[in-house]
């Protein structure tokens, strides 16, 4: 089980023995490693398309908070009639409106805008 060196040992010397490298047997798999036990789940719905803005669902909007923000923040500069005159819009459109108001000086934080914009999109939807 041990291999000896090719040169014979001189008299009185102990032969140099080098061990054989042990090789572990390769594991045998029942199936390829890339195949999982279960297939990957398939989404019920396709991923949203980037060029279509997200639509806020009424269930995802906190109506009380949105209304309060609308009444407190938007009326600092104009009447609520102006919001209605704007007409309806989707989330993307209302986000642009709120961004423009901030650029005009409205003091609306990002957290407030994230609550206000979906509320506006649900309350004043694009027609």
- pLDDT tens, residue by residue, 65-78: 999 999 999 988 89
Note the pLDDT tens digit of each residue in 86-125: 889 999 999 999 999 999 999 999 999 999 999 999 999 9
Burial of 38 (0-12, 13-18, 19+ CB in 10 A): exposed
Average pLDDT over residues 39-62: 50
Query: Any idea what the Cα angle at residue 84 is, between residues 82 and 117, rounded to 5°?
Result: 95
Report CA-CA distances (Å) from 51 to 48, 61, 80, 96, 126. 9, 22, 30, 15, 16
pTM above 0.85, yes or no: no
Q: Is residue 112 a contact partner of residue 86, using CB atoms and an 8 Å limit?
A: no
Query: From the CA atom positions of the chain, what is the Rg in Å?
Result: 36
């Amino acid at each position: 089980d041990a291999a000896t060196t090719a040169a014979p040992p001189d008299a009185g010397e102990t032969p140099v023995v080098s061990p054989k490298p042990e090789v572990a047997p390769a594991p045998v798999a029942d199936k390829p490693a890339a195949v999982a036990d279960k297939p990957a789940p398939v989404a019920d719905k396709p991923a949203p398309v980037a060029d279509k803005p997200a639509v806020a669902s009424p269930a995802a909007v906190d109506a009380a908070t949105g209304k309060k923000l609308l009444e407190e923040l938007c009326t600092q500069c104009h009447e609520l009639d102006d919001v209605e005159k704007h007409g309806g819009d989707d989330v993307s459109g209302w986000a642009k409106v709120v961004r423009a108001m901030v650029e005009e000086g409205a003091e609306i934080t990002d957290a407030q805008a994230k609550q206000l914009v979906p509320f506006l999109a649900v309350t004043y939807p694009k027609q």
